[in-house]
Amino acid sequence: MTQQPHFSDGDSGEYIDSRHQQVQLWARQVLTPLLGADPGPVMAEPLGGDASFRRYFRYRALTDLPLPGLDVVKNSLMLVDAPPARENNPAFLLTAAEFAAAGLRTPRVLAHDVEQGFMLLEDFGDQLYLPCLQAAQGNDDGEDGDMQRVDVLYTQAIHALLMLQSDTSPSRLPPYDQTRLHTELSLFDEWFCGRMLGIELNDSEKKLLADTWHFLEQAALKQTQVRVHRDYHSRNLMVRQQPDGSHPEHLPPGIIDFQDAVIGPVTYDLVSLLRDCYIVWPASDVSRWLRQYFDEARARGIVPATLAFETFQRDFDLMGLQRHIKVLGIFCRLALRDNKPRYLLDLPVVMDYVLTVGERHPELNAFIRWFRRGPMIDMYGVLTASGPLVSASDISSQLETDYL
């Protein structure tokens, strides 16, 4: 039986305003020695948030800031409020250093205070990959897409990923081990099935999920292990603004939201990029980009020269299933615990990934049959009851195939 979810309240406005004032005062203190002069009151405007508890503010100076190493926006900096009780700021700093050492364009950390949870970062501007890709994709009204533009963006993202994975220097990032993989998959049990849908799993269903999770965990652990961003997709890649205000798309992307990085499966970031939860591409394009990555990864020695493309593609599929099943739980948790119900809008895309990819692998037949006939139907009930999130045709297209 499907129950209507309850969405929790966020942080109080008084607390948020207090943190805003504190980070501005701190920024003035750290900028004074960096600039060699007091910049005066730092007034920073709040920006849109992400899926975490971090908040971002933009400080615009009246003139260019004479700070070394800034090759993008010269008169603007990012202030970050990342409450240490809720955000792992040491992990952010560690990953920023490792990714930058590998040659990736992460925002330079100009100053930080781990105890307070404040950071001062280089500003890449506002241009995420996602709207660029959406503009180039075309639309249902017959407007033609610009696949040449799409290919340029994805080629740059793939090259940055290959650069990261080619770095074989010692790493202090934590391992993406079986415990971590299993904990993530269990979010589906708790938040998607339990808290969002009110499903009480019986013993048979618990065994089905346990067997499925074990299969996906083992498939991930057998892959080549590399540095993994862990959320490498169109909302965490940026077209970096240049000093003249332009946004050239043929340059390496700016990479953000990397603080959860680990050492893990080689296909993880690739499937995050190509089977993005926020934009969907035809299978033929995904296969083309997958082959492009595979050929370059094999040439660079990231994957064994003897690895067959078909084996790599299977690894890619199974890794994507682990990620997307986890994401179903995460999006429900964001809606229920963190009062961010907008993430429910993306559940149909993620459920479709789970179904279409899972159907290709006989080992997952039992799970896919159960998911299609039970939890997926219940979730569409929640989505339609919560507002005009999906249409009746969306639902019928997902349910039209009956598995015996």
Question: What is the distance between the alpha carbons of residues 338 and 236, in angstroms, rounded to a whole number?
Answer: 20
Residue 13 pLDDT grade (very low, low, confident, very high; cuts 50, 70, 90) = low
pLDDT of 268 above 90:
yes
**Confidence bin at 65 (pLDDT 50/70/90):** confident
Q: Is residue 401 scored above 50 in pLDDT?
A: no
Q: Give the tens place of pLDDT for each residue, 353-391.
A: 999 999 999 999 999 999 999 999 999 999 988 765 554
Q: Give the strand pairing for 109-113 and 118-122.
A: antiparallel
Ramachandran angles phi, psi of 262, nearest 5°: -145, 175
Q: What radius of gyration, in Å, describes the C-alpha atoms of the chain? A: 22
Band of the pLDDT at 64, cuts 50, 70, 90? Answer: confident
Give the residue ranges of DSSP H helices in 64-201.
Answer: 89-101, 129-137, 147-166, 178-187
Decide if pLDDT at 49 tops 80: no
Query: Encoding tokens for residue 331?
Result: 């999006």
Please tell me the distance from the alpha carbon of residue 111 to that of residue 121, in angstroms, as a whole number.
7
Per-residue pLDDT at 1: 42
| Residue among 239, 242, 258, 224 at smallest CA distance from 97 | 258
The per-residue pLDDT for range 18-29, each reduced to its tens digit, is 899 999 999 999
Q: Which domains does the chain have, with CATH numbers?
A: 13-122 (3.30.200.20), 171-399 (3.90.1200.10)
pLDDT band at 298 (very low <50, low <70, confident <90, very high): very high
Mean pLDDT over the full length of the chain: 90
What's the rounded mean pLDDT across residues 393-403? Answer: 42
pLDDT of 356: 96
Q: Is residue 206 exposed (0-12), middle (13-18) or buried (19+ Cβ within 10 Å)?
A: exposed
